Amino acid sequence: MAGTKIDQRAIEKHVKDINKAYERAFKKYPITVPLASRGFTPSAGISGVGVGIEQDPQLVGYLMWLSERPGNGFGTLADYAGHSGTSLSEAAVLAAELERDGLVVALGTFGPDAHKVSADGQVELRRLARLRSAPAARHRYATDAFLRWLYATAHDQSPASPAAFLDTDESHFAGGALSETELDYALARLTNSGLVEDASTDPKTVTITLDGIDCVLSGASVSDYLNRTRPGDYYSINGTNIVAGSQGKVEQHNHNHAFDPGVMREFAALVQQLAPTYGLDPVQQAELVRDAEVLNEEASSETAQPGRVRAAYDAVMGRLTEIGVASAALTTTLQQGQQAYTAVFGG
């Protein structure tokens, strides 16, 4: 506009004020950018939250080895190759992937192939340590990893020895080895769900079923595969007519209690009965019995809630699978527990 003088100093002051406001906002609410590759979340919480390197034993092994280095806390590729038995080129690939994910940093001053755990790597190591002691996360991994291994080993449905799985890299989760008890739990769940079948008992061998093959090829976890929605599945609406069946078979029912956790009470009673036979110390036995009592109470409630029953069940199974010494009583209990879970929650 003619004759109008622009106050340049006022504009500059306004711009400075805006920049300062952005700086204050950034300090208070910093922008976080997700790392590339595996959708890695270094600060994710415990068991099942976030995605890291817990399912890759080689990456976990290299990161943990670096964290244990004395002195300045750095290691070279040649040292790790000699320690782990991997080739130098394989060690270089591991280091490159961890560096890309921000978990290690290269230290040029100590040589071109020297690395050290980064701050994010320290956070990931803490998360891995927590995952190693999280029964639910370990159980999920054991089930998924064994089924994938069985498919890779014998996708032609020939019998395979489950014990051989414990000698593989895949039998390690978050830097810790799976136990025989955890393998028994995985086998019980897979067998009861129809994804694996027993082939022989002496020595014990199993085969993958067509459903098991379908689960692996789908790329879904065992839990997601078993809980997927199928056309024509049973539908339940409390307090109204309920239509059940699929394809040409349709039945109509009237009832008000679709959720029936009765078998969970039987499972809880079995745990209480056999608790003295598991070889636990008095404190551990008391804690297991207490959790079983909670499960019984939740399953006996007139207004039993699926979420509360499931949480109580997970607590009991978690304590059972932490028992280090396998026994016939423990194996039977784990199998009964999985059967109860399948009966109540469908897999």
Q: What is the pLDDT of residue 98?
A: 94
Which residues contact residue 298 at a Cβ distance below 8 angstroms, ignoring those fewer than 6 apart?
261, 264, 304, 305, 308, 309, 312
Radius of gyration, CA atoms only, the chain: 27
pLDDT (tens digit per residue) in 109-163:
666 789 999 999 999 999 999 999 998 889 999 999 999 999 999 999 999 999 9
Q: What is the pLDDT of residue 14?
A: 61
Q: How many CB atoms lie within 10 A of CB 66?
A: 23
Q: What is the pLDDT of residue 21?
A: 61
Q: What is the mean pLDDT of residues 315-323?
A: 88
pLDDT (tens digit per residue) in 74-90:
899 999 999 999 999 99
Which residues contact residue 208 at a Cβ distance below 8 angstroms, ignoring those fewer than 6 apart?
147, 150, 151, 154, 155, 157, 195, 196, 197, 216
Percent of the chain with pLDDT over 90: 43
Angle at CA of residue 136, ends 142 and 276, nearest 5°: 95
Name which of 38-42, 233-237, 288-292, 300-304 the model is least confident about. Answer: 233-237
Q: What is the pLDDT of residue 22?
A: 55
Q: What is the pLDDT of residue 110?
A: 65
Question: Is the predicted pLDDT of residue 176 greater than 60, yes or no?
Answer: yes
Copy the structure tokens of residue 345: 């929650």
Q: What is the pLDDT of residue 232?
A: 40
Copy the structure tokens of residue 66: 């670096």
pLDDT (tens digit per residue) in 258-302:
678 888 998 998 898 888 888 888 888 899 999 999 999 988 888
Q: What is the mean pLDDT of residues 25-51?
A: 44
Strands 104-106 and 114-117 come out as antiparallel
Mean model confidence pLDDT for the chain: 80
Q: What is the pLDDT of residue 207?
A: 95
- Cα dihedral 280, 282, 285, 290 in deg (nearest 10): -170
φ and ψ at 302, to 5 degrees?
Answer: -65, -25
List the one residue out of 11, 114, 34 whose CA is nearest residue 72.
114
- Cα dihedral 288, 335, 270, 281 in deg (nearest 10): -30
CA–CA distances in Å: residue 210 to residues 37, 156, 187, 200, 205: 32, 10, 16, 18, 17
Q: What is the pLDDT of residue 29?
A: 45
For 54-197, where are the alpha helices, taking DSSP H only? 57-67, 77-84, 88-100, 119-132, 135-154, 180-192
Tell me if the pTM is above 0.85. no
Which residues contact residue 42 at a Cβ distance below 8 angstroms, ignoring those fewer than 6 apart?
35, 52, 102, 103, 120, 121, 123, 124, 127
Copy the structure tokens of residue 255: 């009832």
